[in-house]
Amino acid sequence: MVSIKKIATDIGVSAATVSNALTGKGRVSEEMTARIRSRAQELGYRPNNLARALKTGQTGILGLVMPDLTNPLFPRIAQMLSIAAERRGLGILIGDSRGSADEQNEVLKRLVDRGVDGLLVVPQKGTSPEMNAVPLAIINTASDPRNTVSADHAGGGALIARHISDIGHRNVVILGGDPVSEVQQDRISGMQSAMRQEIRSSVLWGDAGVAEVAERVRAGATAVLTTSDLLALRVHSELTRAQFSVPRRVSLTGFDNMSLASVMHPTLTTVAQDVEAIADRAIEILTAMIRGQAHPDTGRTLPMRLVVRNSTSNPEI
Amino acid sequence: MVSIKKIATDIGVSAATVSNALTGKGRVSEEMTARIRSRAQELGYRPNNLARALKTGQTGILGLVMPDLTNPLFPRIAQMLSIAAERRGLGILIGDSRGSADEQNEVLKRLVDRGVDGLLVVPQKGTSPEMNAVPLAIINTASDPRNTVSADHAGGGALIARHISDIGHRNVVILGGDPVSEVQQDRISGMQSAMRQEIRSSVLWGDAGVAEVAERVRAGATAVLTTSDLLALRVHSELTRAQFSVPRRVSLTGFDNMSLASVMHPTLTTVAQDVEAIADRAIEILTAMIRGQAHPDTGRTLPMRLVVRNSTSNPEI
DNA sequence: CTGTTAGCGCTTTCAG
DNA sequence: CTGAAAGCGCTAACAG
């Protein structure tokens, strides 16, 4: 391992000077700087981040905590965050808070112990992560008072409901996965608030809800709006089993625009988050917090985008 | 930040003694150890991993590099690795080698610069990661000579082919996503080697292959074996469009047992990797390498498991 | 059993 | 413009 000292003795200057030259803190003559730089190059010098971190108190590492790494959105979020972080020279340490809120706080502590400069957390449904050792950015939904950045889930719900209304549906069923999830609640209330008076709607939840969908359709509903693409796929199975064709007999929508949405049959009308923008802003805000600055966009949401495919059409009549 | 020194002066012993007591290196009287421990507790002492790492040269952090964080298997692998790592008190720093082999090597370097003790890498298709600064474990497939641990992809292919053969199919088409992938090649050669002489089979690749499937079925094929569940879902769309019912008219299989496999309609016959075991063994082997030991299971594969669902059945006569 | 000393590799005053 | 010295928090020799 070639250290700053090696370069220093090699050239015959002090370690401090090498450090200054390399980090460009000025205070060193151009010529000396050049000599130091080129020697460093030759030796293949790479700064030891640990030593630097110990001295400066900053590791350049961010912790990312997700409620369940199995969440189908995780890969995209993780990828976009890792790209956004890398662009700023930061690394990402992962943590899985699977299960309890307690576990979540444990994970936060562990990451802090490992020296992260800040934390990005997608909270466990219905919990509020606790940690004041380092800045914390929360990616959740607008109705979470501590939310730092998120997609406009309610707005997304409104988009899809308006689409369904526009093409003529007047009797719809809304299906959520878990009422504890603030995100899903927001999606649903967005749907409800966008539906005109004349639309009849009711909300179903979870497995029981999935099982009940076919019956509701039989009773007259012409569209099923779900809070996730995976849920939509399950509903599609149920409807197929019950001989209801999508979209001829029932329209069906998802949420999140996962890859399966464009690959299932029929392809799924859904609503997409701009994950890249969310990731970028999350990192942006968090780094500002780390520098001790407030960021004007804190708490603001990012618009969602309606993606119309083949699972929705006019109701028959 | 409460340091070891604080505890030392508090109690009136030296920093070294506190260190020894806390890390349980013996050499300290029971009584003193207890006093130190309880004081540490009171003060909420947490060791500074950076300082420790700088001193010992070990960070307790592993780097995980995947070719594309968007890979549908990534979440499960990442989760299982993170659990397996955590169990051993290790952290995981992520890296995305998206795109090129060059980028892959860049990422490896960056992680090493950040002080990882070892690297877990799922290589970019057809590349061999380069890094000798720290131990490296490769998760790929048996035919990769540097492979450290992986599922037995060829064995998985054999399982699925045998199933198809057992239920009476004699004319099948095999569909792969990308011939550059060693994993997919192994899956396919496993399928081929398990099919009895009397079975006619041909191999198709990529988008062109997907587009050609229906035609092959029209020409007499009664089963389509794909190398991934997502590919199977796409094929299902094509078949449905062409009015071929699954499994009545054609049987269809996937690979990997992703969550969509149990949720699509019909549910998908596929083959599952024991991701948890792979993750655990990968970490096990890597930590052995870090300790400078050889591990007997290096290079061995783990069996896959056939999951029969509703997308396969006897061919109609 | 306990303390002293030294140093991991780097940055940062403060002098020269 | 450059150098000397100190120290981040911890551990590993070596003495006592």
Q: Identify the band that residue A70 occupies on the pLDDT scale cut at 50, 70 and 90.
A: low
The pLDDT tens digits for A151-169 are 999 999 999 999 999 999 9
What's the mean pLDDT in A301-314?
Answer: 98
Nearest CA in chain B to A47: B113
Query: Of the ranges A39-43, A309-313, B99-103, B170-174, which one carries the lowest mean pLDDT score?
Result: B99-103
State yes or no: cis peptide before A266, omega within 30 of 0.
yes
Listed in sequence order, the DSSP H helices in chain A are: 4-11, 15-23, 30-43, 49-56, 74-87, 101-113, 153-166, 182-194, 206-218, 229-241, 275-290
Single-letter residue type at B216:
R
For residue A193 the two structure tokens come to: 């608030």
Residues 29-48 of B with CB under 7 A from strand C: 29, 32
Task: Check residue B243 and give its pLDDT.
Answer: 95
pLDDT at A40 over 80: yes
* Higher-confidence position of A268 and B67: A268
For residue B74 the two structure tokens come to: 């990534």
Inter-residue contact B156 to B304 (CB < 8 Å): yes
pLDDT at A71 over 80: no
Nucleotide with the nearest C1' to A46 CA:
C9
Cα–Cα dist A245/A263, whole Å: 17
For residue A23 the two structure tokens come to: 């980090």
Q: Does any CB of chain A come closer than 8 Å to the CB of residue B101?
A: no
Beta bridge partners, A271, equal: A306
Torsions phi, psi for A145 (to 5 deg)? -65, -25
Single-letter residue type at B206:
G
Q: Does any CB of chain A come closer than 8 Å to the CB of residue B260?
A: yes
Domains and CATH numbers, chain B: 4-46 (no CATH), 58-151+274-302 (3.40.50.2300), 153-273 (3.40.50.2300)
Chain-chain contact of B71 with A75 (C-beta, under 8 angstroms): yes
Task: Check residue B23 and give its pLDDT.
Answer: 86
Task: Check residue B71 and give its pLDDT.
Answer: 66
Task: Tell me how many residue pairs between chain A and chain B have CB atoms under 8 A apart.
Answer: 129
Inter-residue contact A122 to A77 (CB < 8 Å): yes
Nearest to B264 among A61, A96, A237 (CB): A237
Chain-chain contact of B93 with A61 (C-beta, under 8 angstroms): yes
Closest CA of chain A from B106, distance in Å: 11
Task: Check residue A310 and give its pLDDT.
Answer: 97
* Higher-confidence position of A198 and B313: B313
Nucleotide with the nearest C1' to B30 CA:
C1
Please give the protein residue whose CA is closest to the C1' of the nucleotide C5.
Answer: B16
Chain-chain contact of B79 with A86 (C-beta, under 8 angstroms): no
Helix axes A30-43, A4-11, angle to 10 degrees: 120
**Spatial distance from the CA of A184 to the C1' of D6 (Å):** 56
Nearest to B260 among A86, A233, A265 (CB): A233
Cα–Cα dist A203/A191, whole Å: 11
Q: Does any CB of chain B come closer than 8 Å to the CB of residue A79?
A: yes
What's the mean pLDDT in A282-295?
Answer: 96
Single-letter residue type at A306:
L
Question: Does the C-beta of B22 come within 7 A of strand D?
Answer: yes
Nearest CA in chain B to A48: B113
Nucleotide with the nearest C1' to A8 CA:
D3
Cα–Cα dist A249/B313, whole Å: 29
Listed in sequence order, the DSSP H helices in A57-152 are: 74-87, 101-113
The pLDDT tens digits for B208-236 are 999 999 999 999 999 999 999 999 999 99
Question: Does the C-beta of B16 come within 7 A of strand C?
Answer: yes
Sequence length of chain A is 317
Q: Which parts of chain B have pLDDT scores under 50?
A: none
pLDDT at A96 over 90: no
Task: Check residue A69 and give its pLDDT.
Answer: 58
Question: Does the C-beta of B15 come within 7 A of strand D?
Answer: yes
Q: Does any CB of chain B come closer than 8 Å to the CB of residue A73?
A: no
Q: Does any CB of chain A come closer than 8 Å to the CB of residue B131?
A: no
Name residues 31-60 of chain B within 8 A of A (Cβ): 46-51, 53-54, 59-60
* Higher-confidence position of A77 and B162: B162
The pLDDT tens digits for A202-218 are 999 999 999 999 999 99
Beta bridge partners, A137, equal: A120
3-state secondary structure of A115: coil
Task: Check residue B189 and give its pLDDT.
Answer: 97
Nearest CA in chain B to A51: B54
Quick count: other Cβ atoms within 10 Å of Cβ B311?
24
